[in-house]
Amino acid sequence: MTEKKFTTVEQMEQEAELLFQRARDAGIDTWKTRAEDQKNHCKFGEDGVCCRNCSMGPCRITPKAPKGICGATAHTIAGRNYLRTTVGGAAAHSDHGREIAHVLYEASKEGNYQVKDEEKCIKVAKEFGIETDGRDIYDIAHDLAYAGLMEYGKPFGYLTFTGRATQERQELWKEIGITPRAVDKECTEAMHMTHIGVQAEPEALVKQAMRTGLSDGWGGSMMGTEFSDILFGTPMPKETEANLGVLEKDMVNIIVHGHDPAMSEMVVVAAQMPEFINRAKELGAKGINIAGICCTGNEVTMRHGIPMAGNFLQQENAVLTGAVEVIVADVQCVFPALGPLSKCFHTKFITTSPKAKIPDSEFIEFKVTSALETAKKIVSTAVENFVNRKQDDVYIPESKEKAVVGYSCEAIIKELDGVTNTQVDLTGTYKPLIECIKAGVLRGAVGMVGCNNPRVRQDYSHIEIMKKLIKNDIIVVVTGCAAQAAAKAGLLSLEAKELCGDGLRRVCDLVGIPPILHMGSCVDISRILMLVTDVAKQWGINTTQLPVVGCAPEWMSEKAVSIANYVVATGIDTYLGIEPQVKGSSEVMHLITDGSRELVGAGYIIEMDYEKLGDAMIEGIEKKRAALNI
Ligand code: XCC
Ligand code: SF4
């Protein structure tokens, strides 16, 4: 057996350092230097006890001034801030879902976007009570898109997808009053509650955070995922590569960055057109290479095997290679720093959404009706820009790793079907997986998600914790920047089974999967919700009983807080490696940890030491097993 050498964080850091040096040489800042400049962080902000919700303030809580001018305590202020953070995240994810619903609404046989997964279109339409028999698929799709859009503002009732949850969760949510209503209703109500002089009770604020989070996970994000699958195809396993080494020295490099797949899908289509490939060759390039960053990267890798250039904290590094002709972004997680940085290189920075215009970028508005035209313009800009590259001044780090991506729930079931024995028919279910967990071959599962955060070494916690988990026979599913961290370290390759305990290694061999499964972008955490829910249903237990936990070791965004809220409210303990900004209130801190466990059977476990965080998860999983007598 040849021992595979996996890329280490140290290697990645050395390569990154060479790129940062290029920035220093060019006299430009990077996140590294800016993070230094921002030290030490404002303590009031960090603790969540600064309120600027009205102009009598800002008010900051200190021992000398324990109340705001209106009388709000640290608990009220921290609770309100926490809820507002959640709203920011839920709004972002859900608005992404809404954009996709609009794309589906515009889909047509002849137009820019088609229905690729008709089966899913019909299945989901039925859930919404839409007539499907004998109807044209586009008529069904349009009715579905309309029904989806109505989920954002319907005046009565609850979100349709909550009907997918376990009976136990549905009843509990009803009982404690957190079943999500229309997406916009939850976000608006949360903003209302946090206005001066409205909600002051910490528990009510934390419950609304869960409800708003649920409207994201079981609403906006879930629609984002399902409608994207209908439009662009449900992901199936594909081979690809990850890390900056995927950039090609002798090709035109285009980086797609952001979140919404509508734009990036079209760029992928345009880049395959012979007119552009030929033109690239005329200009001395060997072809056109597309690579992704952040969740756009996850979307296009899941469906097309497009390589991933890296995750959140690597966006500047991509430009610093000097090898990128165009970096094009739509919404979310896009550093404004890319504007001035791109000016130091030949790189053209293109923004496409009116929601995210960035100084020093070129704005080309992306519209559903002119999507292909715009994508062609973007690709053409990149191709023509190749001649401006200073080829002698290019530095592309060597590191890249092989990865298998594209494990939608449908794909996982298909893989499991491939190995079920025929004595009892288990096809189309997670039962083989459940049997492995019951028998202890697998101890349990962890969903690792989330961002990078300069508060900790980039990707170190992700990678070290993942290695620890798989060594302990715990299967891991990943999305977002955590997924890209895994990919860069080679942990999404089939060879990663070498790092597993005996049980997980056997499962990997038998099923032919890596020990860490890439389930997509951050809105695709809705896939993890469905995986967990269906496993609980087929096992016949509650989600809170499953030996399964969630983890976000390096999270930073408001979206991550929204996610953490809905994962917990779905009954899954969530382990955080970065502290939520509520430390200034013992009550809110209690409410999101042990208090939430009393309320919904799950809560946060907060631990900044990655070793201890990993150990705590294993312990948590073993406790759940013991309670199940397995
Ligand atoms: Fe953004 Fe989704 Fe976080 Fe990565 S994981 S930094 S939110 S790209 Ni969503
Ligand atoms: Fe101060 Fe109350 Fe106004 Fe907040 S809402 S800024 S605590 S007066």
CA distance 622 to 333: 36
Rounded to whole angstroms, the Cα distance separating 462 from 483 reads 9
The DSSP bridge pattern shows strands 326-329 and 348-351 to be parallel
Q: In the chain, count of helices (H) and strands (E)?
A: 26, 16
How many angstroms separate the alpha carbon of residue 316 from the centre of ligand 1? 15
Amino acid, res. 31: W
**Which tokens sit at 25?**
């040489």
- Nearest ligand, CA 479: 1
Q: Are β-strands 548-552 and 444-448 bridged in parallel, bridged antiparallel, or unpaired?
A: parallel
- Which pLDDT score, from 0 to 100, does residue 461 have? 98
* CA of residue 189 to ligand 2 center, whole Å: 19
Amino acid at 399: S
- CATH code for the structural domain at 244-393: 3.40.50.2030
- Distance of CA 163 to CAs 166, 174, 210, 333, Å? 8, 12, 17, 31
pLDDT computed for residue 3 by the predictor: 79
**Which residues is 349 bridged to in the sheet?**
327
Domain 66-232 class, CATH top level: mainly alpha
| Token representation of residue 361 | 């970028």
Residues of the chain with pLDDT under 70: 1-2, 420-424
**Token pair listed for 113:** 């976007």
Ligand nearest to the CA of 295: 1
Q: Report the pLDDT value the prediction gives residue 422, as an integer from 0 to 100.
A: 57
Q: Is 198 in the pocket of ligand 2 (CB under 6 A)?
A: no
- Is the C-beta atom of 66 inside 6 A of ligand 2? no
CATH architecture of structural domain 405-628:
3-Layer(aba) Sandwich (3.40)
Closest to 411 measured CA to CA, from 511, 535, 337, 482: 511
Residue of the CA atom closest to atom 1 of ligand 1: 333
- Global confidence as pTM: 0.97
Domain boundaries, the chain: 66-232, 244-393, 405-628
Q: Is the CB of 69 under 6 A from ligand 2?
A: yes
- Taking residue 439's Cβ as centre, other Cβ atoms within 10 Å add up to 10
Which atom of ligand 1 sits closest to the CA of residue 452?
Answer: 6
Beta pairing, strands 326-329 & 308-310? unpaired
Nearest to 330 by CA among 351, 348, 312: 351
The separation between the first and the last C-alpha atoms of the chain, rounded to the nearest angstrom, is 34
* Alpha-carbon distances of 84 from 71, 228, 282, 441, rounded to whole Å: 19, 28, 53, 42
Rg (CA), the chain: 24
> How high is the pLDDT of residue 297?
98
Return the number of other C-beta atoms located less than 10 Å from residue 77's C-beta. 33
Amino acid present at 258: G
The pLDDT, as a whole number, for residue 418 is 84
Distance 504 CA to ligand 2 centre (A): 53
Q: Of all atoms in ligand 1, which is nearest to the CA of residue 295?
A: 2
DSSP 559-628: HHHHHHHHHHHTT--EEESS--TTTT-HHHHHHHTHHHHHHHS--EEE-S-HHHHHHHHHHHHHHHHHHT
Q: Which of 93, 330, 522, 555 to mutate to test the pocket of ligand 1 (most atoms within 8 A of CB)?
A: 522
**What atom in ligand 1 is closest to the CA of residue 521?**
2
Distance between CA atoms of 211 and 16, rounded to whole angstroms? 40
User: For the CA atoms of 467, 470, 471, 472, what is the dihedral angle to 10 degrees?
Assistant: 130
Whether the upstream peptide bond of residue 453 has omega within 30° of 0, thus cis, is: no
Cβ 172 vs Cβ 568: under 8 Å: no
By most ligand atoms within 8 Å of CB, the mutation choice from 50, 52, 56 for ligand 2 is 56
Q: Taking the CB of residue 146, how many other CB atoms lie within 10 A of it?
A: 14
* Pocket lining for ligand 1, CB < 6 angstroms: 294-295, 311-312, 333, 450-451, 480-481, 521-522, 557, 559-560
Q: Do domains 66-232 and 244-393 have the same CATH topology?
A: no
Asked if residues 519 and 479 have their Cβ atoms less than 8 Å apart, the reply is yes
Residue located nearest, by CA, to atom 5 of ligand 2: 196
